[in-house]
Amino acid sequence: MGREEGPSWDLLNYPKHSGLQRLTRDLNRIYCYHPAMHLGEYDPYSFQWIMADDAAQSVLVFRRSAGNETMVFVFNMTPNFYSY
């Protein structure tokens, strides 16, 4: 106790740190403004894997739905570009 320190705000002067802050901000906005991101978490019909077995290319794809909104998420875990 008593040795806590606040965030090192000066780190935001570095592009990698400020970029991570912007990414987190943008993802939080998407989460708040799109019901498909946060409604129906316990409803099995609100989530569906589209591609979960592409270990060779390290790509994951899933769908989230809520009401009239459907969102598809594609994650490429490599620096390579793939066209589907």
DSSP category for residue 10:
G
Determine if the pTM surpasses 0.85: no
Task: Say if 62 falls within a structural domain.
Answer: yes
In a domain, 1, yes or no: no
User: CA 23, CA 29: separation in Å to the nearest integer?
Assistant: 10
Question: Could you tell me if 35 and 69 are in contact, meaning their C-beta atoms sit under 8 angstroms apart?
Answer: yes
Domain span at residue 51 reads 9-76
Distances (CA, A) of 64 to 36, 71, 75: 6, 5, 14
* Residue 54 belongs to some domain of the structure: yes
Residue 4 lies in a domain: no
| CB neighbour class for 2 (10 Å; exposed up to 12, middle 13-18, buried from 19) | exposed
Q: Over the stretch 52-73, which tens digit does the pLDDT of each residue have?
A: 999 899 999 999 999 999 999 9
44 occurs within a structural domain: yes
Q: What is the pLDDT of residue 76?
A: 94
Residue 83 in domain: no
Q: How many domains does the chain have?
A: 1
In this structure, how many other beta carbons lie within 10 angstroms of the beta carbon of residue 36?
A: 21
pLDDT of 37 > 70? The answer is yes
